[in-house]
Amino acid sequence: MPSPFPHLPAAQRGTLRNLTHRSEVLADNPWGDPTERDLWIYTPASTDSTPLPAILLLAGFAGTGEGMLARSLTEISIASRIDHLIASGCPPFIAVLPDCMTTLGGSQFIDSPALGRYGSYLTAEIMPFIDATLPTTGRWGATGRSSGGFGALTLAMSAPGILDAVACHAGDMAFDLCYLGDIPAGLSAIRAAGGPRALVEAFWAAARPSGSMFAALNLLCMSAAYSPSPDAEDFPARLPIDWQTGAVDFETFASWRVFDPVRRIESPAAQEALRSLSLLMLDAGDRDEHHLHLGARQLVARLKSLDIPHIYEEFPGGHRGTSHRYDVSLPRLAEALHCEG
């Protein structure tokens, strides 16, 4: 448990700034979501104008970079967490917290015609924008939990040479384990609303969306990310299940698996991209409710057989309440990014 008063003295705290960035690649996204987004930046104390490496911190589904800055009774903000790490000897770095929210609750940080080009938003716009705005070394890392962990790993696999170090905390993988069991959970809400698009409208109209509505939004977001169908009449994606009968559409689900890191590792390009990293770290709780520790074990077994350097750790815990793992990953990322070799 953190202290209820976790802040360091003012002189030891980094600076948080809120920049505004207008995106070109997010223009004409199918939901009309804003192209001008807040971008939160953390820079450490007492670093003057010394160039520093930068780390993307990617939020999980339904989260934003801004949300990672929240403090509660039992949760320390990511800014305070970084303050403590740097005060304890972690090499300094710039932390970049983007807003990749969509009307469907997230983006999976990939390019999708049913959501928007959020992978390109990060690699082609946000990273160059930071390099041009702040003194950076040009070396970048990425980390995140859950969907954010998936995003960090997927960016590394799909954009070789862009990232130099990656840490994936319980990232989405082994889709047949982590998604199939959850897919039926939102069907009642979709049916009650009258269909996928009607569910989206009902979700945002509700004073307090129910758990089944949230599960439905998650299903629709993953469908938009992995099986887009922008010309469809009601909703711009194919669902892997019939929302009226519950019949699973295994052909559509197979299209989801193309994005599964456990499958994607079979690509020689993905293998080479991961092999080129200065650091590849993965972890998961040993009783993750979405079975993501099992997916991580599958990926790690393949990394071992391919002789791709990596670190893997399982820790006691489930899927939630694991932001303390940034205390492990961020120093490792920072050390790797400070080491040119």
Q: Is pLDDT of 97 > 90?
A: yes
List, in order, residues 6 or more apart from 300 with CB less than 8 Å away: 282, 310, 312
Residue 46: predicted pLDDT: 79
> Which residue range(s) make up the domain with 230?
178-256
Residue 28: predicted pLDDT: 93
Structure-derived torsion over alpha carbons of residues 259, 262, 267, 271, reported in degrees to the nearest 10: 120
Query: 205 and 170, same structural domain?
Result: no
Query: 225 and 147, same structural domain?
Result: no
Query: 141 and 62, same structural domain?
Result: yes
Query: 165 and 31, same structural domain?
Result: yes
CATH number for the domain harbouring residue 125? 3.40.50.1820
The answer to whether residue 1 sits within a structural domain is no
**Rounded mean pLDDT, 121-132:** 98
pTM: 0.97
Count of Cβ atoms closer than 10 Å to residue 333 Cβ: 28
Among 221, 256, 291, which residue terminates a domain? 256
Residues 180 and 148: beta-carbon distance below 8 Å: no
Spatial separation of the C-alpha atoms in residues 20 and 213, rounded to whole Å: 31
Whose tokens are 């982590």? That residue is 178
CA atoms 109, 292, 258, 186: torsion sign: negative
**Rounded mean pLDDT, 126-150:** 98
Query: 292 and 212, same structural domain?
Result: no
Q: Which two tokens stand for residue 276?
A: 């080129």
Q: Residue 341 — pLDDT band, cuts 50, 70, 90?
A: low
Spatial separation of the C-alpha atoms in residues 166 and 153, rounded to whole Å: 7
Ramachandran assignment for 116, one of left (phi > 0), alpha (psi -120 to 50 degrees), beta (any other): left
Spatial separation of the C-alpha atoms in residues 47 and 6, rounded to whole Å: 22
The answer to whether residue 138 sits within a structural domain is yes
Whose tokens are 């099986």? That residue is 227
The answer to whether residue 118 sits within a structural domain is yes
Residues 8 and 87: beta-carbon distance below 8 Å: yes
Whose tokens are 């391919």? That residue is 306
DSSP 46-66: T-TT--EEEEEEE--TT--TG
Among 235, 256, 277, which residue terminates a domain? 256
Q: How many domains does the chain have?
A: 2
The answer to whether residue 229 sits within a structural domain is yes
The answer to whether residue 66 sits within a structural domain is yes
Residue 191: predicted pLDDT: 97
Q: What percent of the chain has pLDDT over 90?
A: 95
The answer to whether residue 316 sits within a structural domain is yes
The answer to whether residue 4 sits within a structural domain is no
Q: Is pLDDT of 289 > 80?
A: yes
Query: 143 and 252, same structural domain?
Result: no
Query: 45 and 23, same structural domain?
Result: yes
Query: 224 and 82, same structural domain?
Result: no
Query: 277 and 237, same structural domain?
Result: no
The answer to whether residue 3 sits within a structural domain is no
Among 203, 225, 256, which residue terminates a domain? 256
Query: 311 and 214, same structural domain?
Result: no
Residues 114 and 224: beta-carbon distance below 8 Å: yes
Average pLDDT value for the chain:
96
